[in-house]
């Protein structure tokens, strides 16, 4: 995740099929958070923010998310935790939990945008091949 560089990573993105997420939204990359079996317990408000994804390189767009989420998870010691998050952390938690469920941020965009993004990615793949 740090090497990418990215602020979050879901295990499924690197072919580890566990419900595990790591996030670090700190400026100096000093506050790694680990979420095991994260579940959104409640969500409030709506916020529109620009997103990108390591699994969808070169694509950025605004996505509607909950503004604030209350997330339940286990920490690295297996202890149950609850966290109320907002801002970038809230966005990132929702983005990463989507990955665990096989979804990417593009799935939140309009059909037209999804079609455009698919052809752009196909073109990129041809160039890289």
Give the nearest distance from C-beta 124 to Ni ion in angstroms.
Answer: 17
Give the nearest distance from C-beta 17 to ligand GNR in angstroms.
Answer: 15
Number of residues that bind Ni ion (CB under 5 A): 1
Chain centroid to Cα 19, Å, comes to 13
Q: Does 54 bind ligand GNR (CB under 6 A)?
A: yes
* Residue 105 CB burial class (10 angstroms; 0-12, 13-18, ≥19): buried
Chain centroid to Cα 88, Å, comes to 10
Q: Any residues with CB less than 8 A from the CB of 14 and at least 6 apart, and which?
A: none
Q: Does 24 bind ligand GNR (CB under 6 A)?
A: no
Q: Does 6 bind ligand GNR (CB under 6 A)?
A: yes
Interacting residue with Ni ion among 53, 89, 93, 106 (CB under 5 A): 53
Nearer to Ni ion, 17 or 82 (CB): 17
* Alpha-carbon gap, residue 100 to 116, rounded angstroms: 24
Q: Looking at the annotation, which residues are catalytic?
A: 96
Give the nearest distance from C-beta 65 to ligand GNR in angstroms.
Answer: 9
Interacting residue with ligand GNR among 20, 96, 100, 109 (CB under 6 A): 96
Chain centroid to Cα 50, Å, comes to 12
Query: What tokens appear for 27 in the block?
Result: 């400026």
């Amino acid at each position: 995740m740090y090497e990418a560089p990215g602020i979050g990573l879901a295990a499924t993105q690197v072919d580890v099929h566990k419900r595990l997420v790591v996030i670090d939204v700190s400026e100096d990359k000093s506050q790694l958070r680990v979420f095991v079996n994260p579940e959104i317990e409640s969500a409030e408000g709506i916020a529109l923010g620009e997103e990108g994804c390591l699994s969808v390189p070169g694509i950025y767009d605004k996505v509607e998310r909950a503004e604030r989420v209350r997330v339940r998870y286990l920490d690295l010691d297996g202890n149950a935790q609850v966290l109320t998050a907002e801002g970038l952390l809230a966005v990132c938690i929702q983005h990463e939990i989507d990955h665990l469920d096989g979804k990417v941020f593009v799935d939140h965009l309009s059909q037209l945008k999804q079609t455009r993004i698919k052809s752009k990615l196909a073109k990129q793949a041809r160039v890289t091949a």
